[in-house]
A and B are shown apart, each in its own frame.
Chain A
Amino acid sequence: MSARRIFARPARLAAIAPYLWMVLFFLVPFGFVLKISLSQTAIAQPPYTPVFDFSEGRAALAAAFAQLSFDNFRLLVQDNLYILSYLRSLVVAVTSTLILLLIGYPIAYGMARLPQRWQAVAMMLVIVPFWTSFLIRIYAWINILQHDGLLNQVLLTLHIVSAPVVWLSTDSAMYLGIVYSYLPFMILPLYATLSKMDASLLEAAGDLGASPRQAFWLVTFPLSLPGVGAGALLCFIPIVGEFVIPDLLAGSNSLMIGQTLWLEFFTNKDWPVASAAAVALLLLLVPPLVLYDRLQRRQLEANR
């Protein structure tokens, strides 16, 4: 066996590994969900028909296959409950991402301009909350926001309000929770691009007559766009499907698609409709994912 072959084989295996992972943990489960989304609900175990039984021969399998239909997807379009959920998810995700950008950019910018040794400390401070369970942190917020919680106590003591304010079960509380939870995902990619930026570019801009403000908008900001894109998509995509934060902090009058999914699965026990909603959500998320991939590729090429 030639030396080239010995090295070629593990290399080829390594290249296959991510695809294998995708097939095993994404495509196969997605196939199941897709199949359920084309089935009908039934009071049975499992709660849908048809069930493919490979032991009953080809004819039975073909008959089961014929029962599959797009009825559930039709329902998604007809009942505005789903469309409203999708829209709310999009609105919440876009709004949250914009707020995250407005808060995260100055923080990342400030971090990148700190002296080197303080940058490491600032980085730690951004990451430290991850050491506590996400759920516990959200429950802590409930504690702070509740009727006799810390926030209302402070506001009352400082005489900013005369009666306790209702914070919990409002959109404000939900946005607060989302922004709080996703801020590190916005800051880190922004910090990564901003800290790499060549300081002499800003000096050059100043030298050529740009005020510090112009230098920021003409040089720093355009050069940080890959970081803005990465941070925005890293936040936007999971926020669209967010379930826990709106469920715990927002009111129950309008639902995000994650909550609707949960209701269909566990309260209504309508697996096929829930699966259809999940498939539709995935299709909704694919365009931003492709966009993210493109952006990353362009950044890689730019850094060549």
Chain B
Amino acid sequence: MPLLRIEGVAKSFGNFRAVDKLSLDIRAGEFFALLGPSGCGKTTLLRMLAGFETPDEGRILLGGNDIAQVLPHERPVNMMFQNYALFPHLSVRDNIAFGLKRAGMARKDIATRVAEMVALVKLEGLEKRKPDQLSGGQRQRVALARSLARRPQVLLLDEPLAALDKKLREGTQGELMELQRRLGMTFIIVTHDQEEAMTMAGRIGVMDAGRLVQVATPRNLYEAPASRWIAEFVGDINLFSGQVTARDRGRLTVTTTEAGTLAVSELWPPVTKEAVSVAIRPEKVKLSRRAPATDAGASQAINRLEGAVIDVNYLGGITSYRVKLESGAVVRSSMANTARLDVDAYLAGQRVVAWFTADDCLVLEQ
């Protein structure tokens, strides 16, 4: 039995179906991310878990008990709000103690727990400050401490890092993961930032139009997206539509208008339709001046696409290239800058061969 089981939960606002018969299991101690574009229903789902919205149908089982109709203040679940929602008239200490007082904890125990929380989020010395006397990063820590203080069975985090600048966000991601591991608590985070979800979460649930379209580990989500939409939503990808023209022991031949005939390894489950898209991530597309001689491994088919570099973007760690094929289609390729001086860097206008193996391609139904 998972800690949290969401069963056929649906919620509409007027005619808008925000969450559509969604089911999901979350295990105890898991760091789970709900990822999706804005308006996909991820925040509504989170708010139903917190109790701020009541599902129209379905059940939410926490440790076996249906909490779908339980009021927010009676749930063993806490939420960290996107805007932090700190009480402006209360000090850091009183903000953190708020939930403990409501739980009827003894005064002495409250003081101990608050001190523990303040130390946990490294806010020592700021206990008497009011929220408006803190920096954005400090406020974020108070919000985190406040939501953790009651030791909830599940901590819900609504875009917890959205208000921080990039540098601070990256540091805080690491701290959140470390905290979650140390406390062994179940975290459910809502984010629209796929990099954030992939960095922190053990599993990611991708939502689109109120439905969960894929639940997978970050690697599986990236390397084996379940649909064309997910492939495009998570990371960059090159897509070529075409028809399956031959099928031979797990190897498909796909004829595309834009990139000619491509050899693709078939994944499980096999595609059933003829009309497919071949997808290849930019970092798996290599460039060379001449076509690679033969297949390295005997079984590896190599797809070669000839074209000319149209632009080069140097991004520090990687350089991304756009190569225009004869068909007019553009293929993106990114290569790690492994050496400081690169005499072999390609220039715009240069003719190149973009190549990739059959195993690096994905075949997705249209």
* A contact residues vs B (CB 8 Å cutoff): 198, 200-201, 203-211, 214, 218-219, 222-223, 302, 304
Q: How far is the CA of A302 from the CA of B79 in the complex (A)?
A: 26
Asked if B73 is at the interface of the complex by the 8 Å CB criterion, the answer is yes
- Complex contact B88–A210 (CB within 8 A): no
Q: Identify 18 new A-B residue pairs, CB closer than 8 A, beyond the known A203-B50, A302-B88.
A: A198-B83, A200-B83, A203-B72, A203-B81, A204-B87, A206-B71, A207-B52, A207-B72, A207-B77, A207-B78, A208-B73, A208-B99, A210-B73, A210-B98, A210-B102, A214-B102, A219-B87, A302-B132
Is B146's beta carbon under 8 Å from chain A?
yes
Complex Cα distance, B133 from A304, in Å, reads 11
Binary contact readout B60-90 vs A (1 if CB under 8 angstroms, 0 otherwise)? 0000000000011100011101010111110
In the complex, what distance in Å separates the CA atom of A186 from the CA atom of B83? 31
Task: Determine whether the beta carbon of A206 is less than 8 Å from that of B83.
Answer: no
CA–CA, A302 and B131, complex, Å = 11
A203 to B, closest residue via Cβ: B52
Number of A-B pairs, beta carbon distance below 8 Å:
61
* Cα–Cα distance between A302 and B83 once the two chains are bound (Å): 18
> Could you tell me the dominant secondary structure of chain A's interface residues?
helix
Q: Which of A198, A206, A302 has the most chain B CB atoms inside 10 A of its CB?
A: A206
B98:A205 contact, CB within 8 angstroms: yes
Question: Which chain B residues have a beta carbon within 8 Å of chain A's beta carbons?
Answer: 50-52, 71-73, 77-79, 81, 83, 85-89, 98-99, 102-103, 132, 146-147, 150
B residues in contact with A210, CB < 8 Å: 73, 98, 102
Residues in B neighbouring A201, C-beta threshold 8 A:
85, 87
Bound-state Cα–Cα, A204 to B103, Å:
14
Looking at the assembled complex, report how far the CB atom of A107 sits from the nearest CB atom of chain B, in whole angstroms. 23
**Are A209 and B99 also in contact (CB < 8 A) when A201-B87, A203-B81, A222-B89 are?**
yes
Contact of B73 among A200, A209, A304 (CB under 8 A): A209
Enumerate chain A residues within 8 angstroms of B72, measured Cβ to Cβ: 203, 206-207
A209-B83 contact given A302-B88, A302-B132, A304-B132, CB 8 Å threshold: no
With a CB–CB cut-off of 8 A, which chain B residues contact A302?
88, 132
A209 interface neighbour in B50, B52, B102, B132, Cβ under 8 Å: B102
Task: For the complex formed, measure the closest distance between the CB of B57 and the CB atoms of chain A, giving whole angstroms.
Answer: 23
